[in-house]
Every structure is written in structure tokens, then in C-alpha cells.
Amino acid sequence: MEKSQLIEKVKEFIVKLTSQPVAEPVKLGEAMTSDGKKIMFEGDVISEGANLLMVDEAGNQGPVPNGDYTMEDGTVVSVMDSKVSKITVKEEEIPSEEPAKEPAPVEPKMAQLESQVNQLQKQVEDLTKLNAEFIEQQKVVMSSVQSLLETPVQMSKQEPNRELRSFEKHLAEQKRRNELLKGL
């Protein structure tokens, strides 16, 4: 039986006996202070509320005395009762060698923006004129369509019987031919 299988069997046996699961081991991270002291903490990164242990040169672990500890990366960890009470992240300093860059002058940008606004206003005016022309053309077209719609109605009112009379003449001629044919 492999070692991991044996451990699992022992855990299962303990769980059965105590009816409580066996706690997983706590993962500990390590960090060094700027003066070379080794501090261990729970988890992957130091966070507020984490329990801390200090490890001396001989490897002995003990409580971390109250106070502020500067870590290698410049972060300051405040400790109270071997727990992290506060973390202050070091702010990156801007090298004083480089002069501060002056902001770009605003005037050229303002002139460019004013020019763009003027162009847009002209485009809006042109579009407004085109829209008015389109509306007028649409009115003319609609008037023409209305006129065409009314024209056939007017013609049928003026000469309603023209086609009817033509058809009646045709029928009369047809009757006459039929009578002539009967007499033969």
C-alpha cells in the first residue's frame, strides 16, 4: 500500500471515530524584513488579520513582537499580538532627475476643436437646407399623384356614357346582321 493511500485510510478511520473531518494542514508563506528577519504567515500573501510567526537563525519559531516591520519590497506591516493589524504599501517615487512634463498648450487644441465645431455646424445647416428642399419636392410629387388620382374620376363624370354608347352601337349592329342572316 502506498504512503498516500495509507494516510487517506488513517484520515477515514479518524473521521469515523471522531465524526469530524481532519483539518487540512495550513499553508505557510515566508517573507523577509528589510533587516533580514524571517516572518512566516498563513496563506500565499500577507494580509490583514493573518497570524504571524518569527523564525530566528536557529529555525525556532515564536511570536512576532508588536510593532511595524518594513519588508524587503518596502511594504510596512504593522503587527499586534502576532497578527497583521495594518499593511501599508510603499508608493513608488518619481525620480526627481526628470523635470515634470508641462502639459501641452491648450490654445492649439481649442482652435482645432472650434474649427471642427464650425465644420459640423455648416454640415448641419447644409443638411437642414437639403431636408427643406426634399420636403418641397415631396409636396410637388404628392400633389401630382393626387391630381392623377382625381383625373380618371373627373373623366368618368364628364363622359360616363361614351363607352356604353359605343358598346350599345356594336350590339345593335350585331342584331341587324343576325336578322339579315336569318332572312337568307
Residue-range domain boundaries for the chain? 3-88, 106-157
pTM of the model: 0.39
Average pLDDT over residues 52-60: 87
**Average pLDDT, whole number, for the chain?**
79
> Poorest-confidence range of 81-85, 112-116, 136-140, 159-163?
159-163
Sheet containing strand 38-42, edge to edge, reads 28-32, 38-42, 52-55, 61-62
pLDDT confidence bin for 29, thresholds 50/70/90 = confident
Tell me which amino acid residue 168 is. E
What number is the average pLDDT over the span 130-139?
A: 83
How would you classify residue 87: left for phi > 0, otherwise alpha for psi between -120 and 50, otherwise beta? beta
Q: What percent of the chain has pLDDT over 70?
A: 77
pLDDT on residue 174: 81
Q: Which pLDDT value is given to residue 92?
A: 66
Q: Does residue 20 register a pLDDT over 70?
A: no
